[in-house]
Structure 1
Amino acid sequence: MELIFQDQRIQLDNASSAEDIIKKMNQLLDKGYYFSHFTADDKTIFEEHEEFLKQHEGHITVLEVYAKTVKEFVNELLLETEIYVEGALPELGGLAEEFYDNPTAESWTKMDQLLGGLQWIDQMLMTIGKTEAVPSNWEGYLNVSTAMREEIQNLAEALKNEDHVLVGDIIQYELKPNFEALDDQVKETIDNEGTRYDLN
């Protein structure tokens, strides 16, 4: 089997296991790249890579690896963040109102989604913080992150105490402004250092 990444070509034994192939792929992708997907004999695989390799062990002739530079990876993460934040912002005011009134089962589902989103934002910021492509306005992100973490703790306390009015206040007056601040930071980075993909 031939393993290809950019201009590098490595010949692997057909008996190579999925683990061996992944180890070789990781060696090809030094710390300057993030794995994206691969093409196995003209079939493009975007997910469950190891599973695919196990199922096709010994039957792949050419495996071409595709990766993003760290800068491209960070840019894509920020574009995803912008989409998430701008979708969440209009929902936050309504969710706060629901907690002021009396939260329904649907309100609690939305709260779960919000908590999941906050966790994703936290992980996204930690991931970017570990790269060599930290945005020049990183201090702004750290300020938002610190404020959000504080409010998540306050929110957890309010939920534990079943203080629905306080939950509404935290969403409306603390989390919503933090989402807006994060949106501003992301826009600044993408517009000044990143790339927007024109879909027109």
Structure 2
Amino acid sequence: MKLIAAGQEYIIENNSVMIETVLNIVDQALREHSLVFCGFEVNGKEFYDDLAQLVADRGETIETIVAILLTQEQWRRETLHSVEEYLQNSLPLLETLYQDFYDSPSESAWQDFGKLIESIEWISKVAEYTDSQTFLDCREEVRNLELAVSQQDNGQIGDIIQFEIIPRFEKAIEALSAIDGGKTFDIN
């Protein structure tokens, strides 16, 4: 099996210490080149789960593993680009979601609401690790949503989604588009 990490190619035997060898090589590349580990590409397909399980399941069919290693700046840009894509894709869903809470939220609406909260938590973590708090920090909106949920005020939940979350997401998309377009944007 061939392993490629930080531009170096290694031939690794498929044996009991293969995973340990791969992880040691990747760890060394991370330290030597100050890179961020993002995952693997296995036989041309991106893979982000447990490598040991993959090897246990398909070890004999694995020909090439490429360690996906990025510079801090590449990782930051890719992560912010992922957030931007998520935000753009979520806006049409949020339009429907806030309407659902004005009417009478179904079980599906509550599930979508739960996914929204999880997504906002992910965005908040991204904001923290990419120094992007000024336009991605949604803590106030989450506190407002928590209060509305505790008060069982579905109309208030709809209002917060419509008048706080959607505008926050739209502003974040604008800021992220500026970053993506190579324009300078002061995120501090």
Match of 1:161 among 151, 154, 157: 151
Deviation for aligned residue 1:97:
2.1
Q: 1:66-89: per-residue Cα shift (whole Å, max 9, x none)?
A: 423332222222222222111111
Unpaired stretches in structure 2, ≥5 consecutive residues: none
CA contact (8 A) 2:38 2:70 kept: yes
For residues 20 and 92 of structure 1, do their structure 2 counterparts lie closer, same or farther at Cα, with a shift above 3 Å needed?
A: same
For residues 18 and 55 of structure 1, do their structure 2 counterparts lie closer, same or farther at Cα, with a shift above 3 Å needed?
A: farther
Deviation for aligned residue 1:3:
4.5
Distance 1:104 1:55 in 2: 40
Q: May I ask how many residue pairs the two structures share in their alignment?
A: 179
RMSD between superposed Cα atoms in Å? 3.0
Deviation for aligned residue 1:28:
1.4
Deviation for aligned residue 1:96:
1.8
CA contact (8 A) 1:15 1:58 kept: no
Q: What is residue 91 of structure 1 aligned with on the other side?
A: 93
Return the letter of the residue paired with 1:149.
Answer: R
Unpaired stretches in structure 1, ≥5 consecutive residues: 130-140, 195-200
**What pairs up with 1:132-151 in 2 under 5 angstroms?**
141-146=132-137, 148-151=138-141
Instruction: Report whether the alignment pairs 1:116 with 2:118.
Output: yes
CA contact (8 A) 1:37 1:65 kept: yes
Q: What is residue 170 of structure 1 aligned with on the other side?
A: 160
Q: What is residue 133 of structure 1 aligned with on the other side?
A: none
TM-score normalised by L of structure 1: 0.72
TM-score normalised by L of structure 2: 0.76
For residues 20 and 57 of structure 1, do their structure 2 counterparts lie closer, same or farther at Cα, with a shift above 3 Å needed?
A: farther
Distance 1:187 1:101 in 2: 34
**What pairs up with 1:66-85 in 2 under 5 angstroms?**
66-85=68-87
Q: What is residue 8 of structure 2 aligned with on the other side?
A: 8
Q: What is residue 23 of structure 1 aligned with on the other side?
A: 24
Q: 1:43-94: per-residue Cα shift (whole Å, max 9, x none)?
A: 3352232323445779978755342333222222222222211111122233
Distance 1:171 1:63 in 2: 43
Q: What is the identity percentage for the equivalent residue pairs of Structure 1 and Structure 2?
A: 23
Return the letter of the residue paired with 2:161.
Answer: I
Return the letter of the residue paired with 1:125.
Answer: A
Distance 1:93 1:64 in 2: 40
CA contact (8 A) 1:38 1:45 kept: yes
Which piece of structure 1 moves more, 27-36 or 175-184?
Answer: 27-36
CA contact (8 A) 2:12 2:18 kept: no
CA contact (8 A) 2:6 2:69 kept: no
